[in-house]
Amino acid sequence: MTLPRFDALCIGNAICDVFAHVEEDFLVAENLIKGSMRLIDTEEAVRLYAKMGQTTRISGGSAGNTAAGIAQLGGASAYFGKIAEDELGTAYRHDMTGTGVAFDTPALTDGPPTARSMILITPDGERTMNTYLGACVELSPDDIDADQVAASAITYMEGYLWDPPGAKEAFLKAAEIAHAHKRKVSLTLSDSFCVDRYRSEFLGMMRDGTIDVLFANEHELKALYETADLDTAIDSVRKDCALTALTMGENGAMAIGRENTVHVAAEKVEDVVDLTGAGDLFAAGFLLGLSRDYDHAMSAELGCLCAAEVIRHVGARPERSLRQVAEQQGFAL
Amino acid sequence: MTLPRFDALCIGNAICDVFAHVEEDFLVAENLIKGSMRLIDTEEAVRLYAKMGQTTRISGGSAGNTAAGIAQLGGASAYFGKIAEDELGTAYRHDMTGTGVAFDTPALTDGPPTARSMILITPDGERTMNTYLGACVELSPDDIDADQVAASAITYMEGYLWDPPGAKEAFLKAAEIAHAHKRKVSLTLSDSFCVDRYRSEFLGMMRDGTIDVLFANEHELKALYETADLDTAIDSVRKDCALTALTMGENGAMAIGRENTVHVAAEKVEDVVDLTGAGDLFAAGFLLGLSRDYDHAMSAELGCLCAAEVIRHVGARPERSLRQVAEQQGFAL
């Protein structure tokens, strides 16, 4: 087994985030579930956009945010995701490669435009996402570059990949290649509604050993096991997966192994501006820690540090050098 | 004279801001003058963009920011500016109209793309702008809707309009219509290098009565009178213009009239993130104050309040309701 060239390869839906601040009333009037992600079609995208005020556009996509976070920590990351050859797609590729992420998935030349998610930020900093998948529906097994998978310590994938038709196959192909090269495979559950859509598939992959490392927040883990009791869900996931990184917002995070569990505190953040990307950036820190053989507590601490940076401003991509932030806290990256 | 429908009409270069955070070294290596705006061509835009990391895209343009600020204060504003029919232009129109600004200038259908400014934010919060004017060069006197000028208490225009070839004529046409309808005309000096380029034209318009209200910061006012001494510049501008609003960063602002001058303190801002739009948002508050017959001190205070909001985050468009911010400070808008 050769040394990996990449700390992590991230695979996900390549999405441009379109942010707008709204009042709580807006969510009520639109009948939206705060904190969730829903899929919308072109018509609904046009209708909703027309109701939004001033917007900020920043490249996003869950696994894309994680890849960018790892690069900004000074790690080596790669990304697979489908953009179109349009302005949003061009900006997406620029933002990834400009941050140092290896991103070579060919752009779609004839098909739907680059995906966008209209993200409504309420005054409490919570985000509610409305995603038009666009070009993402064309991600296919052909987009899985086996050499990059083989060269990555961990291949990390979104549960959201179950939404577009061909991406699931791409996910499974990547997992197979990774394991054939003795690399690890990781899944984030993405969203509790996503868990509802694909519960049996996700549990199946955990139980058959496809998934080595699971990422989830409390809502998602409880949704996975259809229980309102977090401890019950934790007991269950301990049996189903070798390692689970559980994020708990202001209560920090846990790393749940077969034998023991560690809990780390969250960074204290006075003014939460926008929670978008908190989980993705936690994953960036945790994955880099795993790749660098940090223990679980230290990996989770690095994750919490990254999450704290990204919730202080609009957008799921770090505004400051995460490497500097981490080094100030004593991490030698 | 009928009551105005708009508190202010703003005319300027319609630009999408593309923000990236850079270290001080980046400016040195690129030989850029911190805090300034320079014009660049397509080739340089492509070259510089390739060197920038993660970006955030937010509609901007100096007078555009002011129009949006007035609308977000609960005022009525209109805007004239030239976009192209592309993604950035579509987003620009959405952001203006979504905020409540009347923006009806026809988009360019055959010509250069929507303008963009690559704005480099250094750790001190200062911004250095690199602007590709694109479609803005096509703004012409035909784009001046006489009815909207006549219906606006104040027509406010950027000094930057002297850069594209036809916009100057558009400016002068709008000023003439405004005065014919007993409305006020206002100019912002925009940037000290802009003042260097067009000093005699700007002074000429002040001295011949085209300009009723001037906006400037200290650098621009000193550049206008080619003096290093602010008091000398203030004495001069008092003779040349009926009213000057002078912004002085953390030292607040002055309203300089023929007879007397008032000085107001700045809002205290602990963490300055990005100074882009500080002057534009000061202008929003000050212009709305003038339109609502506030005295100069109160108008300047409203301006300082708006400027303080916009320097706390990336981008020159407010993220919070300025109206709420102002009402919490006792303004009845």
C-alpha span between A62 and A10 (Å, rounded): 9
Query: Are the Cβ atoms of A50 and B94 closer than 8 angstroms?
Result: yes
C-alpha span between B317 and B276 (Å, rounded): 9
**The one-letter amino acid at A269:** V
Rounded to a whole number of angstroms, the distance from the CA of B2 to the nearest CA of chain A is 30
* Complete DSSP assignment for A246-264: EE-GGG-EEEEESS-EEEE
C-alpha span between A326 and A322 (Å, rounded): 6
Q: Does B60 touch chain A (CB under 8 A)?
A: no
Residues 6+ apart with CB under 8 A from A140: A166, A167, A169, A170
* Complete DSSP assignment for A56-90: EEEE--HHHHHHHHHHHTT--EEEE---BSSHHHH
CA dist list (Å): B72 to A51, B29, B307: 15, 39, 13
Q: What is the pLDDT of residue A267?
A: 92
Paired sense of beta strands A115-121 and B253-257, if any: unpaired
Sign, Cα dihedral of B221, B223, B229, B235:
negative
Q: What is the pLDDT of residue B266?
A: 96
Q: What is the pLDDT of residue B2?
A: 84
Q: What is the pLDDT of residue B251?
A: 97
- Which residues in chain B have their CB less than 8 angstroms from residue A320's CB? 21
Q: What is the pLDDT of residues A277-308, one digit of tens each?
A: 999 999 999 999 999 999 999 999 999 999 99
pLDDT higher than 90, residue A320: no
Q: Which residue from B273, B268, B270 is spatially nearest to B315, judged by alpha carbons?
A: B273
Domain ranges of chain A: 6-328
Q: What is the pLDDT of residue A333?
A: 85
Query: How many helices and strands, by DSSP H and E, does chain A display?
Result: 12, 14
C-alpha span between B244 and B228 (Å, rounded): 18
* Fold of domain B6-328: UDP-N-acetylmuramoyl-L-alanine:D-glutamate ligase (3.40.1190)
Q: Does B324 touch chain A (CB under 8 A)?
A: no
Query: Are the Cβ atoms of B91 and A314 closer than 8 angstroms?
Result: no
Q: What was the ipTM of the complex prediction? A: 0.93
Q: Which residue from B110, B114, B113 is spatially nearest to B96, judged by alpha carbons?
A: B114
Q: What is the pLDDT of residue A105?
A: 98
> φ and ψ at A187, to 5 degrees?
-125, 135
Most B CBs within 10 A among A48, A57, A86, hence the mutation to make, goes to: A57
CB A69 within 8 A of CB A7: no
Closest residue in chain A to residue B99, using alpha carbons only: A53
Residue count (chain A)? 333
Rounded to a whole number of angstroms, the distance from the CA of B75 to the nearest CA of chain A is 15
pLDDT higher than 80, residue A1: no
Rounded to a whole number of angstroms, the distance from the CA of A312 to the nearest CA of chain B is 10
Q: What is the pLDDT of residue A231?
A: 97
Stated pTM of the model: 0.95
Residues 6+ apart with CB under 8 A from B137: B82, B112, B164, B165, B166
CA dist list (Å): A5 to A117, A142, A154, A247: 31, 21, 11, 28
Rounded to a whole number of angstroms, the distance from the CA of B98 to the nearest CA of chain A is 4
Ranges of chain B whose pLDDT falls below 50: none
Q: Which residue from A53, A70, A67, A69 is spatially nearest to A18, judged by alpha carbons?
A: A53
* Residue with token string 């697979």: A80
CB B135 within 8 A of CB B14: yes
Closest residue in chain B to residue A319, using alpha carbons only: B21
